[in-house]
Amino acid sequence: QMVSQHAVFDEETGEERTFIGVRRREGYWVAEIKRQGQTLKLGQFDNAKDAARAYDEAALRYQGEKARLNFQESRELTVATSDPGNHVHSRVRVLYDDGVWYEGSITGYDEKSGKYFIRLDDDTRFTSTLPDPDIQIISAPLFPPHHHHAGPPGAGGGLAHLGHGSA
């Protein structure tokens, strides 16, 4: 399956680089993806990087985990824009006003408000929309394992209890 690739001069690094699914036109860039034998136009962009990101987003949407991407970080970024239910049970880190990252997990999603329910490991609970610059998804949903490894009692970061009160 051929994917159109065109070399692009990257002004920031001064290197030529090739983006998947991006083509140069007179004065602009086009992003496109092949889907079931058809070429879908993803739009016109002022620069190659934006077009490449649009391709990555579409590739993840259509091809999921096996998508070939222009930017490795697209994988993390687009998780939040795909199926909202995918995030429930994901582990997250939340940046608080005190400048500390607290870990927790997404416990649910409310379709009406478009908000996620987040519970931190110290039992602080709140809701938020995603993506949010102060919330990082650190791992995909962990489906319950078939066998449990019991750690020592009290294992897990006890530090999360310091620094902020329950909301």
Task: Please report, for the domain that includes residue 152, its CATH number.
Answer: 2.30.30.140
Average pLDDT along the chain: 76
Mean pLDDT of 54-74: 84
The secondary element (H helix, E strand) that includes residue 51 is helix 48-63
Q: Could you tell me the pTM of the whole model?
A: 0.42
Q: Is residue 123 domain-shared with residue 66, that is, in the same domain?
A: no
Work out the burial of residue 38: count CB atoms within 10 Å of its CB; fewer than 13 is exposed, 13-18 middle, 19 or more buried: exposed
Q: Is residue 29 domain-shared with residue 72, that is, in the same domain?
A: yes
**Res 86 pLDDT > 50:** yes
**Which of 142, 137, 143 is closest to 80 using CA atoms?**
137
The pLDDT tens digits of the residues spanning 105-130 come to 999 888 788 888 999 999 999 998 87
In Å, the largest CA–CA distance within the chain is 65
Neighbours of 132 (CB within 10 A): 14
Alpha carbon distance 122, 164 (integer Å):
10
The tally of domains found in the chain comes to: 2
What pLDDT band is residue 139 in, cutting at 50, 70 and 90?
A: confident
Domain boundary pick from 55, 79, 103 = 79
Residue 19: which domain range? 5-79
The tokens describing 19, both together, are 């983006």
Q: Is residue 92 domain-shared with residue 67, that is, in the same domain?
A: no
Task: Please report, for the domain that includes residue 31, its CATH number.
Answer: 3.30.730.10
